[in-house]
Structure 1
Amino acid sequence: MRVLVVGSGAREHAIAVSLAQDPGVTALACAPGNAGTAAVSEQLGLDVSDNDALVALARSWEADLVVIGPEVPLVNGAADAVRDDGIPCFGPSREAARIEGSKAFAKSVMTAAGVPTASSVVVDTPAHLDTALSVFTPPYVVKDDGLAAGKGVVVSSDVEVARAHALSLLEAGHPALLESFLDGPEVSLFCLVDGSTVVPLLPAQDFKRVGDGGTGPNTGGMGAYCPLPWAGDDLAEDLADRIVRPVAAEMERRGTPFSGLLYAGLALTSNGPAVIEFNCRFGDPETQAVLALLRTPLAQLLHATATGALAEQDPPEWADGAAVTVVVAADGYPATPRLGDVITGAEGDGVLHAGTRRREDGAVVSSGGRVLSVVGTGADLAAARADAYARLEPVRLAGSHHRTDIGLDAERGEVSVPAARA
């Protein structure tokens, strides 16, 4: 099978590494890829926002399967374009990708499916903002209604901070979504979805705040771990039954069945699980940890999903133990990152590239805010954490920063689901 992976981040590098280990993959390419994916795949130039260029590339390269990583091309209908050309594609249609592209649309799907989520109000004009804010109590949650690369969310107990963020969104022409706050630990659940067939993968937890202890602004994600030692073994199937399968059924009922990876971001609250958000693709940085433990050939699962044969597959098999991802970010991230700095020590196993490129002189330099994802594995979470931070030790990037506490609370047994309210 010839597989073309679309994207340039650590998620795509992780997908490429997993596909490169699949004996069923005879040729592998990434478009546009990065300095790390070049070690495991052919590199092909591509503007991922150009659907016609993607179709032409997939056709000329004779791809048997196209795997689209980022949300932007999916929301722009890239998967439709590839499928319309007769090439199997892993990724939802433009209409189905609205579950990430519009939070208001996602709320309507969840309401129709009877899936619990935070109460919310969409504000599209500053004149209605103060009235809408008065409905909520702190901490206030304000989100960009559209795509924001994980950074369009502010959670604050200060109403003025919440108001300022909402106004900045409205001034940029983006509706603001105000939500009630959901208590309890967060869970990222990836599910392969082929219409009505839903296959959950290992649940993970990611870390959005930039600093240790959950301090500082939200980012695209500073690290993740899986599985969850504080959750039961049946958590993934339970969440699939209660959350994902009803949503998949509602998407089918609307005539826009979902095909690809449906990512449910959840809070395990004292009232039960509730949805924070849905994404229409593999999440970053959770993918890097989840795929590190997958033992079933990845191409087999993705091709089956893309061709409507997921129900015929055996359940995915997983390695024992745990995996931890630690993100190395550039100086200035998540605001304006400094670019072009030389990176050394990033050639080892488990070091996945995200915002990197190779200069003409051969040096690898930073080209984005999240520069690397370093993945460790081990017999348990403590061992996986130790392995990840040991692999990170040789990495050098001027001004870079990373969290030192990814998975630490779980390792210490300090994460738990709130007790049910009486």
Structure 2
Amino acid sequence: MRVLVVGGGGREHALVWKLAQSSRVEKLFCAPGNAGIERLATCVPIKATDLEGLLAFARQEKIDLTVVGPEAPLAAGIVDLWEQAGLRIFGPSKQAAALEASKVFAKKLMQRYGIPTARAAIFTSPEEAKAYVRSLETPCVVKADGLAAGKGVVVAATVEEAEKAIEDMMVRRVFGTAGERVLIEEKLEGEEASVIALTDGKTVLPLLPAQDHKPVYDGDKGPNTGGMGAYAPAPMVDGAMLGRIQKEILEPAVRGLASEGIVYRGALYAGLMLTREGPKVLEFNVRFGDPEAQPLLYLLESDLLEALEAAIDGRLEDIKLSWYPGAAVCVVLAAAGYPGPARSGDEIKGLEELEEEEGIMVFHAGTRREGDRLLTAGGRVLGVTARGKDVREARERAYKAVERISFPGMHFRRDIGLKALKYLEG
């Protein structure tokens, strides 16, 4: 099979790495890819959002399957375009992708089908939004309606912080049109977790539960990012909790969409808060999480290609996933300035000697090659991922590997996976 992966970040490197292991994959392409991906696949200089360019390439190269990594092409309708052209593609349609592309759409769907989530009010006027915030007595969460690369959520401890977030999103338009509408939600308390599932529109097949670390600094301080690290499995989501998430959240979402004429095929990601009342949805995403994909795919023993094809063909009920024992931890190394405007062009050193290291995989996110030199080329640069017999061992391996990598301005969180240890040690 000839397979095209769309995207160029750490998630896409993990997808390419895993798909390359399938005996049925003859040729792998990635658009646009990065310096890590180019060692496993032919990188094609087409942006993930250039749908017409990607379609022309898929036709020219007789691509048998396209796997979409990021949300933007899904929200723009890449799946609909491929299906109209008679090409096979993994991911949800444009209508289904509204579950991530519009937080208002997602919130209303959850309210219609009784899916547990935070109480929320929706605003198109900044003045009305600010007046509402002033009427609240508790901290709140301000969310831009549209896509904002994981950064359009502000947890506001004070009225002033909430008002500033509203001003930034709705007046200053820091996220462009994504901030035309905002949601103001109650702040849920509990432990966060991520559950990603494959679905063919009927069957929902959850992967291992994971935990992401969104804020840029240790202890969940500082502004939100696309994710500074993740680990799996997350021990706070035991078998019983995962069953609840499947029955109360994932399946009702897929069924609810189906009842409205929207068949959801692809990866469905539920960002969750485990509250005293049970699991509640913080957000839905319509693709593999980044960086959750890195530890999850590093732990996956099954053939990923087989599972993705079953989701496309409506036969996911036949798939049983197998996993390596133990745990995996991914630590993101970020460039100077991230999550604001990030510096690029700095030389990365120390990767070569890690390549033969057992139980370590470094997934590239924002990298490029210039001759023999490996340079930074994005906010999140690398995802240093390690497997171990448990989270403690995986953490130790990951951070030992991090110590051997350097580039000017490199920063990372030092507490990835610590919540799991605290939970396990009680």
What TM bracket, shorter-length normalisation?
Answer: over 0.9
Alpha-carbon spacing, 1:48–1:230, altered in 2? closer, same or farther (3 Å) = closer
Partner of 2:331: 326
Question: In structure 1, how many angstroms separate the alpha carbons of the residues matched to 2:88 and 2:237?
Answer: 36
Question: In structure 1, how many angstroms separate the alpha carbons of the residues matched to 2:253 and 2:184?
Answer: 22
Alpha-carbon spacing, 1:402–1:367, altered in 2? closer, same or farther (3 Å) = same
Cα distance, 1:217 vs structure 2? 1.0
Partner of 1:420: none
Query: For residue 422 of structure 2, what is the amino acid of its counterpart?
Result: R
Matched, 1:400 2:410: yes
Cα distance, 1:131 vs structure 2? 2.4
Partner of 2:30: 30
Query: Which has the higher mean CA deviation after the structures are superposed, 401-410 or 126-135?
Result: 126-135
- Aligned 1:146-161 pairs, distance under 5 A: 146-161=146-161
Q: Contact between 2:345 and 2:377, CA under 8 Å: does it hold in 1?
A: yes
Question: In structure 1, how many angstroms separate the alpha carbons of the residues matched to 2:119 and 2:135?
Answer: 10
Cα distance, 1:309 vs structure 2? 2.3
1:149-185, Cα deviation, whole Å (9 max, x unpaired):
1111111212101110111111115222111011110
Cα distance, 1:45 vs structure 2? 1.9
Question: In structure 2, how many angstroms separate the alpha carbons of the residues matched to 1:187 and 1:310?
Answer: 24
- How many residues were matched structurally? 414
Question: In structure 1, how many angstroms separate the alpha carbons of the residues matched to 2:392 and 2:170?
Answer: 44
Counterpart of 1:49 in 2: which secondary structure?
coil
Q: Contact between 1:350 and 1:375, CA under 8 Å: does it hold in 2?
A: yes
Query: For residue 51 of structure 1, what is the amino acid of its counterpart?
Result: L
Cα distance, 1:233 vs structure 2? 2.6
Out of 244, 250, 258, which is 1:238 matched to?
244
Out of 219, 226, 239, which is 1:220 matched to?
226
Query: For residue 301 of structure 2, what is the amino acid of its counterpart?
Result: R
Query: For residue 117 of structure 1, what is the amino acid of its counterpart?
Result: T
Matched, 1:105 2:105: yes
Question: In structure 1, how many angstroms separate the alpha carbons of the residues matched to 2:151 and 2:425?
Answer: 24
Query: Which has the higher mean CA deviation after the structures are superposed, 65-74 or 51-60?
Result: 51-60
Aligned-CA RMSD value: 1.4
1:232-265, Cα deviation, whole Å (9 max, x unpaired):
2333232111100001001101111111000000
Per residue, is there more helix in 1 or in 2?
2
Partner of 1:356: 367
Cα distance, 1:327 vs structure 2? 0.2
Partner of 1:193: 199
Alpha-carbon spacing, 1:415–1:206, altered in 2? closer, same or farther (3 Å) = farther
Percent of pairs identical after alignment? Answer: 45
Partner of 2:289: 283
Q: Contact between 1:11 and 1:69, CA under 8 Å: does it hold in 2?
A: yes
Normalised by the length of structure 2, the TM-score is 0.94
Normalised by the length of structure 1, the TM-score is 0.95
Partner of 1:383: 393
Partner of 2:120: 120
Question: In structure 2, how many angstroms separate the alpha carbons of the residues matched to 1:20 and 1:49?
Answer: 24
Superposed structure 1 runs of 4+ greater than 6 Å apart: none
1:203-235, Cα deviation, whole Å (9 max, x unpaired):
000001111111111111000011022332333
Counterpart of 2:58 in 1: which secondary structure?
helix
Counterpart of 1:138 in 2: which secondary structure?
coil
Provide structure 1 residue ranges, at least 5 long, that are not aligned to the other structure. 417-422
Alpha-carbon spacing, 1:231–1:279, altered in 2? closer, same or farther (3 Å) = closer
Partner of 1:181: 187
Question: In structure 1, how many angstroms separate the alpha carbons of the residues matched to 2:221 and 2:5?
Answer: 34
Out of 336, 357, 362, which is 2:341 matched to?
336
Question: In structure 2, how many angstroms separate the alpha carbons of the residues matched to 1:246 and 1:89?
Answer: 24
Cα distance, 1:86 vs structure 2? 1.2
